[in-house]
C-alpha cells in the first residue's frame, strides 16, 4: 500500500508527496534533520489529505497530477476530503 498525501505547512503552503508509511513520513517532515528542505523550514506540517494506492506507480501518477494544479484547485480537493 502506498499513500499520496498533501501537507499544510506553517506558512499555509501545500506540499505533495508519496509514502509507504504515512505517520513515519510525517515525523520525518517535522524533524529538524528532514531531508526535505522545503518542509524543514516550514515546520510544523500537518497531513490535510491522503489517498491510498495499491502500487507506487499509481501513487506517483497522482502526485504528478496534483502537483500540476494551482493552489486554488488543491484547496478545492481539500474541501472535499
Range of the domain at 10: 2-69
Average pLDDT over residues 29-53: 93
Cell readout for 76 is 478545492
Rounded-to-integer distance, Cα 54 and Cα 4, Å: 11
Read off the pLDDT of residues 17-39 as tens digits, 9 standing for 90 and up.
999 999 999 999 999 888 888 99
Rounded-to-integer distance, Cα 2 and Cα 63, Å: 11
CATH code, 30: 3.40.1440.10
Q: Could you say which DSSP state residue 51 is in?
A: E
Domain for residue 77, yes or no? Answer: no
Whole-prediction pTM value?
Answer: 0.93
- Number of structural domains (the chain) is 1
Q: Scan for cell 495499491, then name that residue.
A: 54
Amino acid at each position: 500500500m502506498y499513500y499520496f498525501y498533501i501537507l499544510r505547512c506553517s506558512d499555509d503552503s501545500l506540499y505533495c508527496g508519496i509514502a509507504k508509511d504515512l505517520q513515519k513520513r510525517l515525523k520525518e517532515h517535522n524533524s529538524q534533520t528532514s531531508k526535505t528542505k522545503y518542509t524543514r523550514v516550514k515546520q510544523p506540517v500537518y497531513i490535510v489529505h491522503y489517498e491510498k494506492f495499491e502500487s507506487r506507480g499509481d501513487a506517483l501518477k497522482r502526485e504528478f497530477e496534483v502537483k500540476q494544479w494551482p493552489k486554488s484547485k488543491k484547496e478545492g480537493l481539500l474541501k472535499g476530503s
